[in-house]
Structure 1
Amino acid sequence: MGRSRYIWGTTAVVSAGLVGGLLLTGGSDQPGRNADRDGRPGPVKSQARTAALPTTDQGTRATLKQDRTEPFSMLGITWSDPAARVTGTIEARTRAAGSGQWSDWLRLDGTGGQGEAGARRGGTEPAWVGPSDGVEVRVTADGRTSDRLPAGLRLDMIDPGGGDSGTGVPGGMEPAGHHVDAPDDPAESPDPADTEPGEVPDPDAPAGEEETTAPTEPELPADPAPSSQTPTASPPASPPPSATPSPSASATGPAAPPSTAPRPAIVSRAGWGADESISPEEPGYLPGGKIKAVVVHHTAESNNYTCADGPAVVRGIYAYHVRQLKWKDLGYNFLVDKCGTVYEGRKGGVDQPVMGAHAYGFNAETTGISILGTYTDVAPSNAALTSVARIAAWKLGQYGVSPAGTATLTAGESGSNYTRKTWAKGAKLSLPALHGHRENYNTQCPGNAYYAKLPTLRDWAAGPVKGLAIKSVTGAGLSGTTYYTTAAVTVSWTATTPSALIGKYELLVDGEPVATAAGTATSARATLAPGSHQVQVRATHQSGKTATSAAATVVAETTAPTFPVKPALALRTGTVNTTAVPVTLSWKASDDAALKEVRLTAPTTATYGPATTSAGLTAKSGAATTWSLTAHDQAGNTGTATVSGTPVIVQETSATRTGTWTGKSSTSYLGGKSLTSSAKDASLTWTFTGRSVAWLVSRAATSGQAHIYVDGTKAATVDLKSATAKYRDAIWTKTWSTSAKHTVKVVVVGTSGRPAVTTDGIVYLK
C-alpha cells in the first residue's frame, strides 16, 4: 500500500464497506469447490505473537530487543488507533534461525490502518524477514506533526506455517504454489461443498500466547460507496466467534462477464494454504458491479524472499491483515511475487468484482494488485510486471475498459494524494484506468521505481505490441539495406511487449501472411519466389490489436556469379626460392544482383571482397599448380574459374654469354652459384617459352646497371644498387597475354665506380 507523509493523526482511514455475497470456503474461484476433494492442500495454520513496545523520552522513542523468540518469518509494528500515522523512523532487524546472523536494519512504513469497518489497530505494512528467532526494534518520532508516538505500540511476529522454511504445507503435500487455478473451463461443474468446521478466533482475543491485550476500541465507519451509486445489498453481519464458514450453494455476487483478454493462471486461496477459519465473513462486491480501474501497489516489505517463499509471504500478509489489524480478509484482490506467480487475494471469486481494502475512498470502483516487495529504488522484475499487466488486462477487459484509457471515479471520502492534490467526498476524479496507489491516496506506493514503469505497464496490458522489429534474415546475405536469397529464409524478430501478452505472430510477404507462429516465437520460415519482396512481421496482441514491423527488402534470385575476365597468373618482383616464387593472381568477378566475395580454394585458401581483383601469392618452382576461385553472391549462388601455371627457374649458366663473366659460390645464390661481370657490354641471353618472365639478381651498394632487351628490343635499364644486400631478387618482370617463345638479353652498362652486375638467372611461367 505505501508510506504516509504524516506522523500520526486521528483521521479515520478505513476500507470501503463490502457488499454481501458468496462465501468461498475452499478459496477457489469456483463456488462450492472443496479443497480436499479437488486434490488441493488443506489450510495452513499461522501463528501470531506480540510484544509490547514501551515508550521512553516522553513518548518519543520505543525500543525492544528479544534474543530468543518463537520462530517467525514476518513482522510488523502496530498501534491502538487504526487512524494514526507514524512518519518517524520505524526500524527492525532480525536474527536468522539456524545461522544466528543478525540482518541489517530494515525500515518499515508507518502507513497506518487503511483497513475496514471493525479494524482494531493501525500498523506498518508487514515485512518478510525469513525464518528468524530473534528481533530488535527501534521507533522514533520525527516531531513534524506530533512529538509523541501513538499509544499501544507493539511488535507483531507471524509464523505463516508450513514447516521450518515457511514455504511448504503440512502433511507432506506439495508446496502450495504448485496449485494453480487454470482459466475457467465452461464444461467443468463445481463439486458440492464438503469442508470440516474450522476454528474461528475471537476477534477481540489476543493473537497469540505472547500477545498483549489492546484496549477496547470503537469500530470505524465503512468507507462509503460513491455518492452516485447505491449498493446492491447490505453488508452481511459478521458471524459470531463460534460460527464456522459455510459455503453458499450459489453466488450472490454479480455474474462474471467474459473478458476481451485471456485469464492468467492464478494460485487459488486453497493453493497458497489460506486458513479460511480466521476470516469467516462472506465476501462483498462492488456496489455498481463494475470495475472501472486497477490500482497497483507494492507490499512495501523486504525483497529478500525466494520464489518458493511466495505462498508463505501471502499467508503472512493475510494473517497480519486479519489477525493483527482485525480486517475481515486480505486487503488486496491479487498478489504477485517477483517470479510472476499470481495469487488470489480477497475471497469472492477471481472473476468477480470483489471489493477489496486497498485504496481508501476508491475501493468501491477498483480492484487492487500488489507485487510482493518494495520498489522505491529498484523496479519490479519483468516477470512480475508481465503478470500485473495480464491481470489488469483481464479484469478491465471484463468491463470494456482499456488499460491505456482513463476512468472517472467518484470519491467515497475526502482525501489527498502524494502530490498534495485534494478532493471532497463525492468529487469526480479522472484517473488512468491503470494507476498507482499514490494517485488516489497520500502514499509513496507503489514506489518510485515501480511508478516509473506504469506507462510501460499500460502499453503491455492495452496493446498493440511495442518495439516490434525484424532482427535478422538468415539464409540471405545483406548488402546495404537489401537481403538476397535463393528462396528459403528464416526471419527473426524482437518485441518489447512480453510474449505472454502476445496472441500470435504472422510473417508477411508483400503484405500477405505466409506463416503463423505463437506469441512465444521469435522466428518463422518462408520460401520466396524469384524477385524483390517486402517482408514484414505482424504481431497480434491478446487484445486483438495488431502491430506491423518496418519492411525488409528481400530479393530472391538464382543466377550464379560469373568471371567475365578469366583468372590469370603473372610473375612479380620479390625474393625467389625454389619453394616460393612470387606470383600475382588476377581475376574479375561479377553478379547480376550483388557479389559478396571471391574465395581462393586451391592450392591455398583465402577470401577477398567483391571489389578485390588480384592477390600477391607464391608458387612452388617446377610444379604445375592449378589456382581455383569461387565467386559467391549475397543470395548464396556460386560460380567457379581456374588458371594453371608452372614457374621454371633457369640458371645463369644456361645463358649464352658474351664478354667476361666470373662464377661466384654462396648458399645465398640459387643452386649455390651465380655469374658476375664488370665488363661493359658483357651480356647473357636466355630463350624460353612462356607468358611471364623475371630476371633474378644479387644486389649491393656497389652494384651497377644493366640494359634489358626483349626479343631484340630494349625494354628497360635496371639499376641493381641497394643499400642492403639482397639475393635471388626478381628485380624486373614482364608478362604477355599468351604463352610464346621469347628471348631476354641482359647487357652490362659499366656504370662508373660500380660497374658490377651479378645475376642468378631467370624464372619464367609456362
Structure 2
Amino acid sequence: MKFDHNIEGFVLLFYRKGGTTAARGGLVITTVLAISLILPVFGSSQAGPPSRPDTQVLVGEAPQTVAAPPLVEQQIDLVGLDQSIVAQSQSAVLASFEEDLDHSHEGRSHDVEFLPLAPAASEPHAEHVDQLTNLEPVLATRSANTKPFTLVGITSAEPFAEGARVLVRVEEESGWTSWTPLQISIDQPDGEEARNIRYGTEPLLTNLATSVEVRIDTPDGVEVTQPSMVLLDSPTIKSDASIPNPDLDGSTSGPLSTVAASTISAPMPAIITRSEWGADESLRRSGPRFAPTIKAAFIHHTASKSNYSPEQAPAQMRNLYTYFTKGLRYSDMAYNFIVDRFGRLYEGRGGGMDQAVVGGHTAGFNDQTFAISALGNFQTFKPNDPEMAGIIDSVSSLLAWKLSMNHRDPNGQISLMSDSSAGTSQYEPGQTASTLVVSGHGDVGSTSCPGKHLEAQLPAIRAAAGAKMGASMINPTAMPADWGEGLPVRITAATNAPLAWNLSIRSQCGDVVRSLAGGQGEPGQLGIDWDKKNDAGAPVPPGTYTVTMNSTGNGETLYPWIGQARVLATEDSPADPCAPPEVFSLTGSGYGHGVGLSQWGARAMANAGMDATSIVSYYYQGTQVIPVQDDMEISVNVEYQKTRVDMQSEALDPSGGALEVSVGGVVVQGSPADIFQFRDTSGQVEVVKISGGVSAVVGVGPSATARPVGATLVHVTNKGKGLSATGSRFRYGYIEVTPITANGIVKLNAVNRLRLHDEYLYGVAEVSNSWPDAALQAQVLAARTYALSKIDAGLRKSCNCHLDDGYGPFSDQAFAGWSKQASVQGERWVNAVNVTTTAPNVGLAILKDGKAIKAFYSSSNGGASQSVADAWGGEGLPYAVSVPDPYSVDSSNPNASWTQVITQAEAAQAFGVAGIWQLAVTERFASGAVKTLAATLADGSVITKTGNEMRSSLGLKSNYVTAIDGSAGVSAVVEPPSERSVALRTAPRADQPAGKTMKVKAKVRPAKKGLRVWLQQRVGEEWKILAKKRTKAKGKVTFKIKDPWPPASTQIYRVVTTKKKVVVGASEELAIGVVPSVKSRTVFLNSPANVTKADGKRVVIKAKMRPKKKGLKVWGQVLVSGDPATGEWRTIRKTRTKAKGKIVFKVKKKEVPPVGVTYIYRLLVVDDRQAAGVSPLVTVTVR
C-alpha cells in the first residue's frame, strides 16, 4: 500500500474537580499525579499536610527493591487572563524580589526559597527592576480542587520567550502560599531526543496541595505555545528510610551498590541504584545512547526545594524523574548522577553507571560528558559545613572513578565541540569550547547553575578528585603517521606516577599482531612507538587496529585504555586480509511500514475463520466498527503537476456516450473519437478539442471539468503517457483540472471528485479480488475509514484534493477507478463494498471516541505491527500500537521471509562513505523492526541510520531485518575525494504552517565534522544567507527556520557548503509551501451595527465568535482613510475573546468621534499574527 505517512502529530488556568481531560482551544495542561513528597514548606508545617493514610516511614527496616507507586495522569486545558489574579500577584512579585535580594530566608527550612525572576538566558542576580519592564501578563488562572500534589512545573510546546516569567502559588491545608517565581529550565538534551521534548520551568516542591494559581508574563505579551502544568505526587514509602547516609570514612552500612576493589585506582563509590530509589522503568521513552568516551563532567543543581529530609530525598528523585519523562518528555532523567544534600549519590539516567551514557543535561555538550546534579537550589540554599563536606566527598569520589576509567585529569582542561545552540548554550554548533574537565554548567551555558554556594566549592571538588585518583594515565592517544610515510604509530599519555605497562595490538580480524611491554621510571610524558610491524617483524597491512594498554603504578592497577591506531597505506603495503566484505546478505520479513492492519495477516485471519470486524478490531486496538454517514464527496488526485492533461471518452456499451467538458462558462460534448487537451495558459486552464484531426479552443477559465454522459468512461492521462496507455479510466463523479503553483511553477492537477460511499471505494485497488470475503471486507473498512479521516483533515492546498491515487505525491491508498471494478472477479470487491454499507448513505467504519481513526495499513509486517510512534515519531496514536501478528508471517505470504543481497558499493553509497566493514542492527523496536542500523568503517568509527533511512537507502521491502551476514572481499583503502556534495534529509512539503518552526536537515559528503555550511533562501534571483553552522561528526547539519512566512506562499531554500566563503557544494532546492496555521473564525455582532450616541458617551461593541475559543486576541480598529475594503485601518486597542467566544470591546470616550462625525469600526480576531476572522462593520455617529 502507498499512502500518506505524515502523522499530525500557562498562562493561568481554571480547572474544576475530578482529573478529567478537557480540550479548550488546543492549550493543554498535563497534571501527573505520580510519586511525591511530604515537605515542610511555605511556612505551613504547623498544621501539617492533608492526611495520606497509606504513607508511612519505618526506620531501620531491611533494604528492599522499590516498586514505584502507580502513576495517575490528568490533562487540563489552560486559558484565561484573570485580572484579579494579576492584581493579587503583582505586589507579591515585588515583595518576592526584596525577599530574594537580602536572602533573609536562608537557613530557615520552612520558608519559601524564592527563585529570582530572571529571564531564561540571564543570571539570576541580574537587575531586578530591569526584569519587570516590558513584561505583560499573558495568562493568569486558577486550577482548583485538584488531586493532592507535591510538585508543580510548567511546560510549553515551544521555548519560552527570552525574559519570560512564570509565577505559581499553591493552596495547602493551611491556606494559600506566597507567590514563587519558577526558573526556566536550562537543561536540555541534544539530537534525536530533543526532537519531541517540551520546554519547561524548574519544578517547585510543595507540601501536599490541592489547588494552584499560575501567572505567566512575557515580553510584549508574546503568547506561550500550548502551555501545560505538571503536578506530581510521590508518597514517601517505607524503603526510603532504609537508605543510609553516605559512608565518609570508608565503611558501608546499607543497600548501596558499590565495587570494592582495593587494588583498583579510584574504585566506584557507593551509589543508590535506580531500583533502590524506585525508578519506574516503564516511564523511559527510549533506550540509552552511548558515547565512545567521557571527556568532561558538568556540575548542576536541580534548582528545586532543598529542605527535604533524608527519608524524603528518594521521593524527590521519583518526582524529578517523572517530571523529566512525563512533563518534559525527555527519554529519561536528564542527569547521569544526582547527589542529595546529605552527600548520598544516586544513579540518574539509565544505561550503566560505568558506561558513557549520553545525558540530557547540558545543551550542546551532552555527548562525551556526564553530569552530576545536586538535589536542591544551591543559589539560595547553603548547606551547613558537615553537609557540604559530605557533598564534596561524594562528588569527588564519583568524579575520580568516572574520570579514572576514561583517563581524564579532574584539574585539567579539555576542548569540546558544540553540537547544538539550544537551551542556554553559549556556543553555536561546530564551535569549540575550551573548558575545565570538571566544570559548572555556567562555564558553557548562560546560567548561574550550579548555584553560587556549590560553584564556590568546585576548586575543592577538583582537588579532592585528583587526590583520590592515585596513579593515573591522562589523555592517552594513538597518533598515525602521515599518509604514505614510514614513521611509527606513536601512543602518548601524561602520567603522574612511575608506571609499568603492557600493550596488545589487534587487527580488524581480531588477531593480536603485536605485544609490547615496558615501564616508565618517572612521571611525565609517556611515549610508545609501534613500528607497524607484527611480532614476526613483518609490516602489517593498512587499516585500523585496536590498542589495549594495561598498566600499574604505586601498587595500584589502573583502568585499561582501549584506543584505535590507524596504519595508512603506502605503495608497498601488504594486502589487507581484513578487507571489507563484497556483499551483505540481509534477511527479513514483511513488506511496507508495518503500521496498523497487515493485508496478508488479514487474509490469513480470514482463512482461519475470523470475520472482518474481528480482524480490524485486533489491529486497531480499542476501536469500534460503527455505521457512519459516508455519502460525502471525496477528491482524489489522479494527475499531479502535469504540463498537459488529455481526456477521451470510452463507451461501455453500444449505446455509447459522451464526455461533457465545461470551461469558462462554455459547455461542449465530445464523442469517443474526440480528444480534449487541458493546458496551462498564464495560470488559467485552456481546453482544446481535437475532432477529426482539427483542433479548436473550447475556452479558458480558472478551472475546467469533464463529466461522463451516459455509459461512458473518462480516460485521463498526461502528455508523457499518451491515450494509448492502459488504466486511468474513471466512471463516477467528474474530473476537475486546476492550475496549482509548486516551486514557483504553475502546472495542472486533475482531481476525480466522487461519492465516497461506493463510487470511490469501488476503485480502491489494494488487494486481490480473489481473497476471502472477510479479508476483502476488512480492507474496505480500513479504506473507508482512512478516507473519512482524510476528509476530516480537509483539502490539501497543494493538490486541491483530500488524497491521491497512491502514486504520488502523498502515497495514499491505491485508487484505480473503473479498472478495479472491471478486473477479474471485480464483482467480489464490489460486493465487499456493498456488504459493509447499511443504508444508501451509511457505511461501516472504524471509530475511536466517535471519530474515524487514521486507519494505516501495509502489505505485511515481520510478526508484530509497528506503533505509529515507532514508525514515524511523535506521540503516537492509542489505537495504532504494536500487537503480535503471527498471521502476517503465514506461509501463504510471499514476503513472510526474504533475503536481499546488498553489494559493498550499494552499502557504501547508502551511507555516503568509501567502504563498510560491518553492518549490524544495534537497536530494535518492540515490534522487532530495526530502529538503528550501524555501519563500521575502516577506522573503527561507526555511523548509523534509522530503520526508515535504512529501508529507503538500501531499497529494502521493510524495516523488519532479522539477520545480516557479510562475506569477505574487496579492498577499500581509498583516498577520500576532494569534491563535496550536499544531500537534503528534509523532503519538500506543501503544508508548512505559517510561523511554526521547521527544521531543514542535510548531510555533506564526504562526511567531516566542522565543515562550514549555510542555509540560504531564494529572494528573487539571489540567495540570501539565513544561518551559518558547522557540520557534526557525520557530516550532518540541522537548521531551524523559526518563522516561515507569509502564509499562502512558497519559499525556496537550499543548503550549501563553503570553503573560504566560496560555495563548493550545494543541495537541490527545497520548496516549502507555507499555509495559514490558524483556524478560520466567523464573527457575529451581538450589538447594533449602526449606533447613534450622545456626546460624551462611550460605545460598547458586543460580538460572538465561532468556532468559539477563549483567549484569542481581538483588535479593535477604526477606519482612518479610504473605503472599508481597501482603506487604512488603525488599531486603537486590543482585548481577548471571553468564554464561549464572546467579545466585548469598549470604545473609550477619547476614541469616540466628535459631534456630527461618523466613524466606522470593526473587530479583527488575530491568532498567531494571522487574521482569523473579522466582524461586520459598526458605524458610530455622535449627535
TM-score by structure 2 length?
Answer: 0.27
TM-score by structure 1 length?
Answer: 0.42
Larger Rg belongs to? 1
